[in-house]
Amino acid sequence: MPALLWSVVPVSAADEPRTLDWDDLIPPAAPLEDPLIGLNPDQRVEVDMLAAIRLRMARGEIREGDPLYEDNLELTEKLKKDGLDVEFKLQRYEKVMQEIERRNELVVPTLDGALVRIPGYALPLETVGTSVKSFLLVPFLGACIHVPPPPVNQMVLVHLQQSYKANALYEPVWVTGILKAERTRSTLSYVDGSGSLDTGYTLAGTKVESYKE
């Protein structure tokens, strides 16, 4: 992919961008306690499955008579026979999952306004043919389409003043520009419809380069 350069903000030629990796976009935090500590591998899987079923039941997606409702009863009974306090384990598990979700939406305020350079995969949002004007920068291949989207603080919405020619979907690139720590909602089009995605950062791109190790 050709390396292209466009000025979208007044940046001095003497300014050197700070090179980031994706961990730099996550605020530091204390380690979380493992809610499934002490369980064997099978029990960990079963509690995880049970928590997912209970969540869908709470949303009204699963009702009595549904096969998954029966799975809920069977898993609960099995884990009780193993000597587990099932409801206590589920409460601890849910609490930790809620904290993970909360942390996934946090950004690093000190990065706001910083000139940065970060690698990732470009998922086009606004295109004309192969020309891309805006894209999502994501940390792994297939994010947002083939697999669940990354956390909010692991997606960057990139805006360019002038489009660049993309050679492929999820093209690996380096992007340089001014980072803004702000939550933004974007629309992503799929073959069978569209959906919205929240990103924790936006970037006014001044340079897009082909990614090289």
Place of tokens 């947002």: 144
The pLDDT tens digits for 7-65 are 334 444 457 999 999 999 999 999 999 999 999 999 999 999 999 999 999 999 999 99
186 pLDDT tier (thresholds 50, 70, 90): confident
With helix as H, strand as E and coil as C, how does 106-152 read? Answer: CCCHHHCCCEEEEEEEEEEEEEECCEEEEEEEECCCCECCCECCCCH
Residues 144 and 194 in one domain: yes
Q: What pLDDT does residue 32 have? A: 94
Q: Is residue 181 part of a domain?
A: yes
Number of compact structural domains in the chain: 2
Strand, helix or coil for residue 97: helix
Q: What pLDDT does residue 75 have? A: 97
Residues 13 and 110 in one domain: yes
Q: Is residue 34 part of a domain?
A: no
Q: What pLDDT does residue 189 have? A: 60
State how far the Cα of 164 lies from the Cα of 35, in Å rounded to an integer. Answer: 46
* Last residue within a domain, chosen from 104, 124, 151: 104
* Last residue within a domain, chosen from 86, 104, 122: 104
Q: Is residue 97 part of a domain?
A: yes
Q: Is residue 134 part of a domain?
A: yes
Q: Is residue 36 part of a domain?
A: no
Averaged over 188-201, what is the pLDDT? 72
Percentage of the residues of the chain whose pLDDT score is greater than 90: 65
Average pLDDT over the chain, rounded to an integer:
87
Residues 160 and 115 in one domain: yes
Residues 15 and 116 in one domain: yes
Averaged over 153-169, what is the pLDDT? 87
129 pLDDT tier (thresholds 50, 70, 90): confident
**Domain range enclosing 88:** 41-104
Averaged over 68-78, what is the pLDDT? 96
Averaged over 83-108, what is the pLDDT? 96
* Last residue within a domain, chosen from 104, 124, 154: 104
Residues 58 and 19 in one domain: no
Residues 174 and 112 in one domain: yes
Where residue 112 sits, what CATH number does that domain have? 2.40.50.870
Residues 93 and 124 in one domain: no
Lowest mean per-residue pLDDT among 1-5, 22-26, 105-109, 149-153: 1-5
Q: Is residue 35 part of a domain?
A: no
List the structure tokens of 137.
């920068």
